[in-house]
Amino acid sequence: MKLSSLLIVGAAFAVIGNLPPLAEAAPKVKLQRIYESLEVERPVSVVIPPDGTKRQFLVEQTGKVKIMPVDDKGSESKVFLDLSDRKMAEKDFEEGLLGLAFHPKFKENGKFYVSYSQQGPKRTRISEFTATDGKQANGDSERILMEIQQPEWNHNSGNLTMGPKDGLLYISVGDGGFKNGIFMLPQKLTRWNGKVLRIDVDGKSPGREYGIPKDNPFVDVPNACPEIYAFGFRNPWGSWIDPETGIFWLADVGQDLWEEIDWVEKGGNYGWEYMEGTHPQVFRKELMKLLMRKADPPRGTQFIEPVFEYSHADGLSITGGFVYRGEKIPALQGYYVYGDWKLGTVWGLKVDEKTKKVIDHVVLFKAKDNAEEKFNWTAFAADKDGEVLLLNWDGRIFRMVGE
């Protein structure tokens, strides 16, 4: 009897020992409206330059970069760069001024980089500008680094990220637009669309206004674009490289059923237009049959699965964010904060860095009726103190605070 009881207890401990770790207590937060008196038009990002000033540069999709007031009750911002006369958009939903990144030595050289749409022909332009004493951009200083052809007005992406350790510029590019991956560009190494590109803004390779990093993964592949760092993306929106871990977080907007979060690796293939998240793309076989092409990927093709995905039962268009390491919400430490553009939900995701296993996934904010409240998140950014800023497409700005 005693032996039997011991066996039962031992077995119970063995089972408990094999259970996954318990989810942590969900961080309790709320959203606080800030900059209510500030005139903001379609904000898409907030970027802080590496010059020690802690200035917050607000990017407006309509063409302006503004320096936000220090006081979040302030009503006046300074226009740092104005490209609003460039006739960027045929359709203003996904075209316009879409990315900003500062040179690692911005304090010394005043250089920064933007991505914006141009028409006739339709293309995404990546340019370098210089700011006088780091205070005011010189509009005449533009140096065009590259122009990326865009078949359609949507799926431009255009997020820019400066590598915190390598000082290289990472450029997220969408698949060319329309739907169903009909242009079939993300899997083609001969095109920039549907890729993350990596370039050296301080160098110049033959025939280019930038340098090709020697360790880019396709430098020695015949006919491949040497700028490609990773491929197989649909419409990346929200790119961020963790300065502490080096993990490259990228949110990729899905089509019919799934939204995904990727950890981008050099040379990785993330599946689109064959895969949507971890699932085969729903209409690909039918589309390929109509086009009289093969539906299956080439033999030996290996796709890297997203670190997390959610279905369209929970949201319809992902907006990526960053890993919170601020001080005012201790329970949120280490969570990747991101949300959904269409439904307005905000989540916190915690992932084990070694195993890529999800430790916790919690709802931080959920709109009661988003048709009425209209929370359409375009970006989640760390403010000058490392706290979470949430940008809404209608111009409202919020800060996440603890309850």
Query: Is 298 in contact with 391 (CB distance < 8 Å)?
Result: no
Beta strand residue intervals within 104-257, DSSP E:
111-118, 123-132, 136-149, 157-162, 169-173, 195-199, 228-231, 236-241, 248-252
pLDDT of 97 strictly over 80: yes
**Distance separating alpha carbons of residues 147 and 161, to the nearest angstrom:** 17
List all residues 6 or more positions away from 219 whose beta carbon is below 8 Å from its beta carbon.
212, 226
Please write the tens of the pLDDT for every residue from 234-274: 999 999 999 999 999 999 999 999 999 999 999 999 999 99
**What integer is the mean pLDDT of 227-231?**
98
Identity at 101, one-letter amino acid code: A
**Distance separating alpha carbons of residues 184 and 193, to the nearest angstrom:** 9
Identity at 83, one-letter amino acid code: L
**Distance separating alpha carbons of residues 394 and 37, to the nearest angstrom:** 14
Model-level pTM? 0.92
Residue in this structure with the two tokens 């450029």, named with its chain if needed: 171
pLDDT confidence tier of residue 283, bands split at 50, 70 and 90: confident
pLDDT of 26 strictly over 60: yes
Domain boundaries, the chain: 37-320
Lowest mean pLDDT among 8-12, 134-138, 181-185, 200-204: 8-12
Q: Which residues pair with 129 in a beta bridge?
A: 112
pLDDT of 42 strictly over 60: yes
> 52: closest CA among 99, 105, 100?
105
Cis peptide leading into 121, omega within 30 of 0? Answer: yes
Residue in this structure with the two tokens 């207890």, named with its chain if needed: 9
Residue 387 C-alpha from the chain's centroid: 18
Residue 136 C-alpha from the chain's centroid: 27
- Which two tokens mark 77? 């911002």
Query: Is 375 in contact with 392 (CB distance < 8 Å)?
Result: yes
Q: CATH for 37-320, among 2.130.10.10, 2.120.10.30, 2.40.10.10, 3.40.50.2300?
A: 2.120.10.30
